[in-house]
Amino acid sequence: MLRRFVYITAIAFLLQISSAIAGSTGSESLKKSNSESSAPECFEGVSRAVFSINHALDKVVFEPVAKGYRVIPYPIRKGTGNAVDNLRSLLTLSNNILQGNFSGAVNTAGRFVINTTVGILGIFDPAEHLFGLEDHGKEDFGQTIGYWGASSGCYFVLPILGPTTIRDSIGLVGNIFLDPVYQITHNTEVNAGIGNQSYSEHNYYYYRGAGAVDFRAKNIESFDTLEETSIDLYTSVKSLYLQNRNKKIMNSQSSIETQDDSDWEEIDTK
């Protein structure tokens, strides 16, 4: 049980901080006048203290892991990222349907089927390169309830899990139930019996952990630039997190350049 908690919290931390600085460079960090970057604070003093602890943990643990991952040859890292994104698209498919975006659901389903088969378990992306089915981005349950009109609620920072809002905290829980990968691995675990319990459960956490490390490795420079150019890192992260989440809910196109805009996740333990 303790080991499961460690897996979940470590993965969630990496995915949450990805949303916090998604789609931006350091030059964007002080644009706080934008209404998209505003949300009331639940308890700013506590959040700032937790943020400092999380930031230190990233420096000591997650950044070194990401740098070590970069030693792996690029084709292997690229294939790993593609395979993880392919599995992650099943959560997007669930939320496409809940948002009533059936054309998006068809596109997502088509990409998954083609990339899983022709693309060899998602290692390659023939869906886009050969069939013209473009990746329209990731969707999660926090985006879905925002799409249907729920406000973000107040902003706060969770230990390990990082920046969030009331709406996105609910979304974190919803993602577990909506993610087919989670449901398949855990249902298989129950049906297969005790002998395969650990193996089946770990498959899900390996998949989520690989995605988190892959993201962190791709965006080491973006994280460093944000830190170096921000007068108040806490405020910058808050602003960028809220802007990114609102942008995703509105499905708007980013006009802000990143190292690789398609890599910015979200956040998720999604």
Q: What is the pLDDT of residue 36?
A: 52
Q: Which residue has the higher pLDDT, 230 or 199?
A: 230
- Residue 253: phi and psi, rounded to 5, are -85, 135
Whole-angstrom distance, CA of residue 248 vs CA of residue 141: 12
Per-residue pLDDT tens over the stretch 145-166? 999 999 999 999 998 888 999 9
Where are the domains positioned within the chain? Answer: 2-252
Q: Which token pair is 262?
A: 């398609």
Supply angle C-alpha 14, 48, 251, rounded to 5: 50
Q: Which residue has the higher pLDDT, 260 or 232?
A: 232
DSSP-assigned states of every residue in 20-45: HTTT--GGGTT-TTSGGG---BS-HH
Which residues, 6 or more positions from 132, have their beta carbon under 8 angstroms from its beta carbon?
Answer: none
Q: What is the pLDDT of residue 203?
A: 80
Residue among 232, 256, 255 nearest 30 (CA): 232
pLDDT of 18 over the 50 cut = no
What confidence category does residue 176 fall into, taking pLDDT thresholds of 50, 70 and 90? confident
Give the rounded percent of residues in the chain with a pLDDT score beyond 90.
52
Which range among 1-15, 22-36, 43-57, 95-109 shows the weakest confidence by mean pLDDT? 22-36
Q: What is the pLDDT of residue 37?
A: 56
Tell me which residue has tokens 């170096």: 228
Q: Which token pair is 114?
A: 């083609």
Q: What is the pLDDT of residue 208?
A: 82
Instruction: Rank 58-62, 71-75, 110-114, 178-182 by mean pLDDT and report only the highest.
Output: 110-114
What confidence category does residue 129 fall into, taking pLDDT thresholds of 50, 70 and 90? very high
DSSP-assigned states of every residue in 116-147: HHTTTTTTS-HHHHTT---------HHHHHHH
Q: What is the pLDDT of residue 186?
A: 77
Q: Which residue has the higher pLDDT, 215 or 119?
A: 119
Tell me which residue has tokens 């998006």: 104
Q: Which token pair is 153?
A: 């609620």
